[in-house]
Amino acid sequence: MSADKKRLSLGSIVRRPETGSVIGLVAVFLFFAIFGQITFLSAAGAASWLNVAATIGIVALPVGLLMIAGELDISIGSMIPASSMIFAISSGYFELPIGVGIAAALCFGLLVGFINGYLTLRTGVHSLIVTLGTLFAVAGLTLTMSVALTGTTSVAVQSPPFIKATMGDFINGIYQVTIFWWMLWAIVLGFVLHFSPIGNWILALGGDKESARNAGIPTQRLTIGLFALSSFSAAFVGVNQAILFNSAQVSAGMSYIFNTIVCVVVGGVLLTGGYGTVVGIVLGTMTFSIVNQGIYFTSFNANLASLIIGVLTLAAVVMNNSFRQMALTYAPKKAEKKAEKAE
């Protein structure tokens, strides 16, 4: 019986989609702890990658849920600057109340998400293509509107102390408050995916859309909701960045597209859907950010970071694949069955 318990726990480890990402995180952390100077392990070192992780993580979480549901969203790359600009133009350039600017930016996020979801359902075209379309459309719209309205591509905005403190400030001078928003987001979405019935629907939707629909899941509402969530989160990050830096630029966000996908995939989410965890996405985001920032604490050429991220992504995917295979073939009573047969 005790042997059986042990097997079960091994099984439950192997079955967790984030097992690979734990290994990846430990590996890169040790790598930079060894090769980085002592500052990597200091509070400032931790802050440098945590700040990056938080900003990417807020978008990577809903993008990960979408991927688990079998969809992709790359329009976040232009959603982030678009919402920054909407906020800065409303509350900075036109000096509207701060709440109006924030609300306008977030509502635009919801709207674009709704359009992404609706078009994906309506046209049957893969969401990669649909969101590629909205990526360009939103980018073009942002540039045109900001030049037309303000005559520039960079707008300053000052936020009142309360907004600054809750949305875009540093704690102890080094940690962005965004880190708390990221944690909150991880808890909320972790609850949704793993503990609420909706999480089961998301897994089913990504596993087999047809069967999910036949099982009575409101697949259309769910798809639109998830797209709205990811665009909303991107808009939130855009507003957050504008508050933090007291300004917004038209061209800041394209790097988020690939960065979020790397975080999610390193975190053990299956690109084709149906498999993944929130803990995995969080770990993947941390791994990515450690490599992204840790390189500056080493004596290596900073350009090597991309190489490491590339290799890491491939390694993580291969490792996650083999863990998934083990999870599938894992049967707790195998040894017992064999013993029975031998008798």
Partner 1 sequence: MSDNSKPPVLELRNVDKSFGPVEVLHDISLKVREGEVLCLLGDNGAGKSTLIKTLSGVYEPTRGSILLDGQPVRFARPKDAQNRGISTVHQFGGTFPLMSIGRSFFVGVEPTKKFGPLKVFDRKKANEIAVSAVQEFGITRIDDGDRLIGGLSGGERQSLAIARAVHFGARVLILDEPTAALGVKEAAHVLRIVLEARRRGLAVIFITHQVMHALTVGDHFAVLIRGALAADFRKGEKTREEITDLMAGGEAMAELEQEIQAYLDESPETEPVQNRPASSEEAV
Question: Interface with partner 1 includes 164 (CB under 8 A)?
Answer: no
- Nearest CB to partner 1, comparing residues 200 and 246: 200
Question: Interface with partner 1 includes 330 (CB under 8 A)?
Answer: yes
Q: ∠49-281-16 over CA atoms, to 5°?
A: 130
Tokens 């073939």, located at residue = 329
- Nearest CB to partner 1, comparing residues 302 and 331: 331
**Of positions 107, 208, 305, 317, contacts partner 1 by CB under 8 A:** 208
CA distance 241 to 223: 27
CA distance 230 to 237: 11
Coil, strand, or helix at residue 97? coil
**Of positions 211, 255, 321, 322, contacts partner 1 by CB under 8 A:** 211
Question: Interface with partner 1 includes 16 (CB under 8 A)?
Answer: no
Only one of the segments 96-104, 118-126, 200-208, 284-292 lies at the binding site for partner 1 (rule: CB under 8 A); that segment is: 200-208
Cα 147 to Cα 62, 155, 222, 254, 343: the distances in Å are 31, 10, 36, 19, 82
- The alpha carbon of 213 is separated from its chain's Cα centroid by a whole number of angstroms, namely 26
Structure tokens, 14: 């192997």
Which 264-303 residues touch partner 1, going by CB under 8 A?
A: 270, 274-275
* Count of residues interacting with partner 1 (CB under 8 A): 36
Taking residues 299 to 328 in sequence order and writing x for each that binds partner 1 by CB under 8 A, - otherwise, the string is: -------------------------x--xx
Rg (CA), the chain: 22
Which 80-119 residues touch partner 1, going by CB under 8 A?
A: none
The answer to whether the beta carbons of residues 141 and 82 sit under 8 Å apart is yes
Only one of the segments 124-132, 177-185, 199-207, 303-311 lies at the binding site for partner 1 (rule: CB under 8 A); that segment is: 199-207
> CB-based contacts of 26: which residues, under 8 Å, 6+ apart?
none
Question: Interface with partner 1 includes 212 (CB under 8 A)?
Answer: yes
Q: Which residues sit at the interface with partner 1, rule CB under 8 A?
A: 8, 11-12, 15, 191, 194-197, 199-201, 203-204, 207-208, 210-218, 270, 274-275, 324, 327-333
